[in-house]
Structure 1
Amino acid sequence: MSVASDLDLTAKYVYVPSHARFLAVLVYLPILDKIVEGEYVKIKEPLKIPGCKPVGPKELMEMMLDRSDQQYKECVRVGLEIPMSNGVLVNTWEELQGNTLDALREDRELSRVMKVPVYPIGPIGRTKRLVEKPNRIFEWLDKQRERSVMYVCLGSGGTLSFEQAKELAWGLELSGKRFVWVLRKPASYLGVSSSDDKQVSTSLPEGFLDRTRDVGLVVTQWAPQVEILSHGSIGGFLSHCGWSSVLESLTKGVPIVVWLASLCGAAGPALHQFL
């Protein structure tokens, strides 16, 4: 808001690329900050936020895990500033999150905090585009049966520990199902490029790539997710459930398998609506 004021903008609108529940939590956070004592993770009763299901310690957004952290303080500040705008554009739609949108507009407690109009303008995401040929991902997918492949991707920044990567690899192998796995470097390799094939492959069980050669494809480079989800051979999506991934999967009609560790992220409160 301060930047908009410095530029003398007559109308100030906020765009929230995430979902309506994230917006509800964000604008209600300054109230929680005043009425809740101690850390949210230690509360005995779930937090009640208008328009949202009660939020227990395990469903808290990451930004709420440590009240002394600068990220939390910034979120409280943003929650205070959003209602100072002329309106809010949010990346969702009525049929998906109607209850929360109604609460933002009409709930006596939440609308008094929100104060300004909320406009759902979603789903907004990257559109499908032509992929340069040849591309080994699509060459492989073209050979698979319809709806037979599980797409596994835990986000552009989603890295696993060595133990998690190995366990997920064993799970995929023992399932006997076909898969495309976009695998980032293990989280302990903080200084190594995520596209370093050698470092990524060391996080897999010995012989995994050879044993799964006929049923799986491991990708260590960036992958065109929208195009992959649009492919007819994809039957499911194991996802960290960032909001962009959720929207892309929903709009392509691909069922989501939730990576449970993701539920404390920004999409968490929205996902609990559907789980």
Structure 2
Amino acid sequence: MNQYKEFSTKLYNILDINNIAIDEPMKNHTSFKVGGPADVLVTPQNYNQVVSVIKLCNENNIPYYIVGKGSNLLVRDGGLRGIVVKLTKLDNITVEGEKIVVQCGADLCKVSDAALENKLTGFEFACGIPGTVGGAVTMNAGAYNGEISQVIESSLVVDKSGNLLTLNKEELELGYRMSAIQKYEYTVLETTFKLVYGEYEKIKQRIDDLTKKREDKQPLEYPSAGSTFKRPEGYFTGKLIEESALKGFSLGGAQVSEKHGGFIINKDNATASDILNLIAHVQHTIKERYNIDLDTEVRIIGED
């Protein structure tokens, strides 16, 4: 029996019934299309609801997980005990001169579109990153020589006690796939980006070029979580994997992409265990061959 069903009734004082789901399969909420059930999944529609849910979880000693589109997430087959707080309904984008104020659940590609429409440059690198702003800030997401730290001004966050904090760029402690958000387990609610005016056609051309490069080089036709591994200093992960003859290697329904060695894909109805076993095999092979530790970029949570 779902041990948090009784607790879930308390959520009805905060959220509409349509924003609460019991025993919700996480495969429906991750780009890998795998993952067992979450005891309770909620979709807040405003900041007060997010804060109230976090406070309620803490007061009742209930674990909670913050997710967006699940594009950098692998949930194990046993699912998640506790509450999943999915923030994709918080997706407003407001342009204020050279600044764009964005709620955490907004797609990065839509922020890129808004920048283009307003002739703002600097956000083109993110046009193909499939996640949300909250996740992108949390991991300082980047692509094609650009990253969030280059364009961010500040973020409104909530801490584990339910307190609201506004953190400037320095306070966010943005590093390679790291931030104060991870370090202190904050939740991003809203972010302000500072861009500069540019020429519409040049911005559009850059976006078109990056989109084509992504379509040509990445296995977008299969479920995945993007780049599976972090890049070891001084090396390119895809090259290490390709030189180790791992491209195309499969375990169960999971495969190292034949198109890009840095991607593990759900090729044929993979389970989370298939993907985890393949990740472990790649890590072991690279360690044996190069004495390099490959750390995962994808966030792995849940029970086996």
Q: Which has the higher strand share?
A: 2
**TM superposition score category, shorter chain reference:** under 0.3
Q: Which has more helix, going by share of residues?
A: 1
Larger Rg: 1
Higher relative contact order (CA 8 A, sep 6+): 1
TM-score (norm 1): 0.25
